[in-house]
Amino acid sequence: MSSIVKDIESEAARIIEDARRKAEEILGEARRKAMEILEDKSYLVDLMAERKSLEDKTESEARRIIDEAQRKALELKESMKSRIDSIAKQIASMVAGVEV
């Protein structure tokens, strides 16, 4: 009977040792893959492309806003020019006492 118990204990110890070895192999492989992922800088290419795209979009939007502001300023200037001319004529008429 003691021989059977020893055989079972021996088999259990062997199974446990095999499981430990396999777990260590799995952990080692996981560490290697993790290091590969951490050392892989290929994502930087995508990141730089995205950054460039955002910069281009921002620059384009800024140009559009500036162009629109310049157009509105020119429209305002033209609008004010005729109003200023009209007010200047009214003032000149009042000062001179004649319709200009």
pLDDT digits (tens, 9 = 90+) for 20-77: 999 999 999 999 999 998 888 888 888 999 999 999 999 999 999 999 999 999 999 8
Instruction: Please give the model's pTM, rounded to 2 decimal places.
Output: 0.49
pLDDT of residue 1: 64
Instruction: Tell me the pLDDT tens digit for each residue of 88-98.
Output: 888 888 888 77
Q: What is the 3-state secondary structure (H, E, C) of the chain?
A: CHHHHHHHHHHHHHHHHHHHHHHHHHHHHHHHHHHHHHHCCCHHHHHHHHHHHHHHHHHHHHHHHHHHHHHHHHHHHHHHHHHHHHHHHHHHHHHHCCCC
Output the pLDDT for position 58: 96
